[in-house]
């Protein structure tokens, strides 16, 4: 088993298939920075489907069993179902999922299911249209996303996870309504503490609503009880409704870091491997591929990167919250969430 310096195995691979997105969420791609003139990666600087499939095969040989397709907005990558079908044919991959903002999901849901997608996660930060308009940065209402969630469920992409980034003073007053809306549907709302991902979202710790507070607010109206995790390394802490009508999850990477169990590796749109969501630098796999590297060369390179991994950014931030600003980090839209 391939492990890093802290004995953490490599089990989950997150692949950003595009750096483009049709939303401009302030915590990820603020519109004032990523405007109409912003230049995204040209096609030749993005990994091809064949290159991605080849790399996934090598990662699978090294222990990867779970794939998550991210972006940007992954449904903006042309012919994405074709890639998914290619990835489902890779030996050793037993779980393939995708995270989307849902805006284009209705038109692709059946194709994604037919291509072999197992599950889907939809980002939805609020049911309140005015709050949602602010948080997606484009003035979109929730109707299209809610319809897409229903369409995805109808074609069998379930259970669906609903991701909500909670930001104090922005959408925290709507978290109970979101839980109530999906209670009893079989879908799982996961609340994510607002994180200092990237360098441009103006993050301040005062804007974080602690997971314990989120739980307390929901529990006061819809009683909850803690539930065991599905597996070691699961990022969300699970809570079930006491009446048996479903569950929610909390991703508390700020107040309760889970670096010690992190088994995730990320591949950026331009083919760089990152061993932490908060990493500053990645190592290119695209360059050696296009220079003629063999599978064995790539296997050795990935092994050398993971075996010296010592990332524990969130734990270090929690241990020294008053330290000066963190070093420059990769932007979230380049390596997904």
Listed range (100-109, 182-191, 205-214, 282-291) with the worst mean pLDDT: 205-214
What's the pTM value of the predicted model, to 2 decimals?
Answer: 0.91
Listed range (85-94, 297-306, 328-337) with the worst mean pLDDT: 328-337
12-335: CATH, from 3.20.20.70, 3.40.50.2300, 3.30.70.141, 3.40.50.2000? 3.20.20.70
| Signed CA dihedral, 319, 251, 332, 304: sign only | positive
C-alpha to C-alpha distance for 267 and 286, rounded to whole angstroms? 10
C-alpha to C-alpha distance for 246 and 224, rounded to whole angstroms? 10
Q: How far is CA 245 from CA 161, 162, 270, in A?
A: 15, 16, 42
- Interhelix angle 49-61/80-88, rounded to 10 degrees, is 30
Q: How many CB atoms lie within 10 A of CB 34?
A: 20
C-alpha to C-alpha distance for 18 and 219, rounded to whole angstroms? 38
Paired residues of 189 in beta bridges: 162, 248
pLDDT reading at 203 higher than 80 = no
Instruction: Specify the pLDDT at position 311.
Output: 85
Under the banding of pLDDT at 50, 70 and 90, the label for residue 197 is low
pLDDT reading at 174 higher than 70 = yes
Residues in the chain: 337
Under the banding of pLDDT at 50, 70 and 90, the label for residue 266 is very high
Instruction: Specify the pLDDT at position 234.
Output: 76
Please list, residue by residue across 79-116, b when 16 or more beta carbons sit within 10 angstroms of its beta carbon and e when fewer do. ebbebbbbbeebeebeebbbbbbbbbbbebbbbbbebe
pLDDT reading at 80 higher than 90 = yes
Of the CA atoms within 13 Å of residue 118, those in its CB half-sphere come to 11
| Percent residues over pLDDT 70 in the chain | 91
The model's pLDDT over 206-217, given as tens digits with 9 standing for 90+, comes to 889 999 999 999
Instruction: Specify the pLDDT at position 146.
Output: 98
C-alpha to C-alpha distance for 55 and 287, rounded to whole angstroms? 13
- Encoding tokens for residue 152? 């995805």
Instruction: Specify the pLDDT at position 324.
Output: 46
Average pLDDT, the chain: 91
Order of strands, sheet of 12-16, starting from the edge strand that comes earlier in the sequence:
224-227, 237-241, 247-251, 188-193, 161-166, 119-123, 95-100, 66-70, 12-16, 264-267, 272-274, 283-284
Instruction: Specify the pLDDT at position 237.
Output: 94
- Domain regions of the chain by residue span: 12-335
Instruction: Specify the pLDDT at position 230.
Output: 80
């Amino acid at each position: 088993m391939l492990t890093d310096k802290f004995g953490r195995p490599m089990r989950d691979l997150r692949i950003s298939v595009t750096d483009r997105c049709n939303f401009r969420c302030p915590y990820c791609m603020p519109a004032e920075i990523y405007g109409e003139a912003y230049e995204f990666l040209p096609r030749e600087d993005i990994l091809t489907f064949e290159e991605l499939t080849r790399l996934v095969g090598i990662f699978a040989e090294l222990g990867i069993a779970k794939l998550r397709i991210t972006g940007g907005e992954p449904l903006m990558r042309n012919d994405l179902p074709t890639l998914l079908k290619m990835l489902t044919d890779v030996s050793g991959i037993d779980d393939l999922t995708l995270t989307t903002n849902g805006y284009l999901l209705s038109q692709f849901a059946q194709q994604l299911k037919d291509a072999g997608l197992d599950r889907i996660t939809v980002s939805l930060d609020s049911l309140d249209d005015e709050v949602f308009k602010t948080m997606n940065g484009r003035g979109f209402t929730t109707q299209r996303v809610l319809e897409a969630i229903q369409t995805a469920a109808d074609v069998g992409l379930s259970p669906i996870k609903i991701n909500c980034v909670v930001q104090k003073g922005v959408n925290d007053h709507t978290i109970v309504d979101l839980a109530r809306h999906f209670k009893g549907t079989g879908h799982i709302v996961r609340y994510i503490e607002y994180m200092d991902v990237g360098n441009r979202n103006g993050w301040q710790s005062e804007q974080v609503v602690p997971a314990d507070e989120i739980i307390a607010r929901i529990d006061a109206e819809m009683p909850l009880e803690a539930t065991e995790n599905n597996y070691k390394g699961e990022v969300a802490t699970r809570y079930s409704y006491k009446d048996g009508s479903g569950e929610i999850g909390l991703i508390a990477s700020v107040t309760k870091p889970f670096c010690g169990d992190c088994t995730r590796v990320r591949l950026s749109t331009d083919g760089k491997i990152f061993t932490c969501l908060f990493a500053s630098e990645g190592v290119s796999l695209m360059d050696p591929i296009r220079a003629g590297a063999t599978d064995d060369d790539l296997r050795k390179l990935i092994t050398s990167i993971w075996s010296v991994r010592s990332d524990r950014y969130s734990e270090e931030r929690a241990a020294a919250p008053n330290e000066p600003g963190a070093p420059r980090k990769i932007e979230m839209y380049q390596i997904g969430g």
